[in-house]
Every structure is written in C-alpha cells, then in structure tokens.
Amino acid sequence: MNKVDLHVSPYVQDHYPQDFAWCYGCGYNNEAGLKFKTRWDGDETITEYVPRPEHIAIPGFVYGGLIASLIDCHSTGSASLAFHRQNGHTLGDGTPVPRCVTAMLKVDFIRPTPHGETLSARGRIVSLGEKKAVIATDLYAGETLVVKGEVVAVLAPETMTQKGR
C-alpha cells in the first residue's frame, strides 16, 4: 500500500498503479526492493540513490549490476513521465501513469564508481514516439561523471499487464 500523498509527490513511481508497483527496483509494494524514485528536474529527469553497504563489486566500488538496475528503473520512470506529459497530464491529476518496460539497456562504465557517494542519474528524453522512448543518462557519483546509459523503453505490452491483474 502506498501511503504517499499523491497530490504532493513529484516521483513517478509513487503514482504507478497498485498492481504494477511490485518492481524490485522501484515498486513501493516490494519490501525487499531498492525503491528508486524518479522526478523531473527542468527538462531532465533525476533519480538519486545511496547504495547499500553490500552493493559493492571490488571493495570500495559500486556493483555494476546495481548501476545497471538504477539506470533501468530511472529510464522507464523517465519514459513514464515523458509519456504522461505528452498525453497532456500531470502527476496527481487522477489519470493513471503509463507503465513502461525496457527493450534495450546499454551501460558504459567510464570509470570505477566509488562506494559511499550519492549516485545521481540525470536523464534526457532523446526521442518520444507513441509507444517508444529513448532515454540517455549520465550517472554521477557526487560530482563526478562515472557512467553513461542508454535505454529504449516501451509501453508495457498487454501480455504483461494482464498477467499482473
């Protein structure tokens, strides 16, 4: 159950329909999950996260799979925000937020990501069609650019959403 005030929260994941808020990366129903949260920041999107102590690769550095997960949910969240805006809606206006899934994920690890810093994924909507969005992301550890991501996100197909009901 989501206890957030939906008239106030700028985070798209807080507005996902209950049935589709079980994602390990960003679903508010998933108790064991990571609970990534994505919002607009001007024309960019942003997701900030502090990795858990166990999220390491080699000691002192963040696990790449965690970074890929962050970019994944950040990008599907960014796509949801962009589709919702394109449809003429704002968060909290009572219209369900479109739920997206990832068709392609690419992550370039430019330099090792130090553990202990806040990670900030900053997204740019590269293209937005009727059903498909391309999101480019720069990931910072503190102020340092460490990773670049690119995701093709698509509206979740009915074959997936029907099974969830």
Contact 165, 19 (CB under 8 A): yes
d(CA 43, CA 126): 11
The pair of three-digit structure tokens given for residue 156, joined into one six-digit string:
């979740």
d(CA 16, CA 27): 8
Minimum separation from the CB atom of position 43 to a second copy (A): 25
Assess 136 for contact with a second copy (CB under 8 A).
Answer: no
Assess 109 for contact with a second copy (CB under 8 A).
Answer: yes
Assess 103 for contact with a second copy (CB under 8 A).
Answer: yes
Nearest Cα to Cα of residue 91 among 10, 1, 2: 10
Could you give the string, one character per residue 8-27, with x where binding to a second copy holds by CB under 8 A and - elsewhere? -----------xx-xxxx--
Q: What is the CA radius of gyration of the chain?
A: 15
Q: Which of 7, 43, 59, 90 binds a second copy (CB under 8 A)?
A: 59
Assess 66 for contact with a second copy (CB under 8 A).
Answer: yes
d(CA 117, CA 48): 10
Q: Which is nearer to a second copy, 9 or 102 (CB)?
A: 102
Would you tell me which residues interact with a second copy (CB under 8 A)? 19-20, 22-25, 30-33, 52, 54-61, 63-66, 68-70, 72-73, 99, 101-109, 112, 156-157, 159-161, 163-164
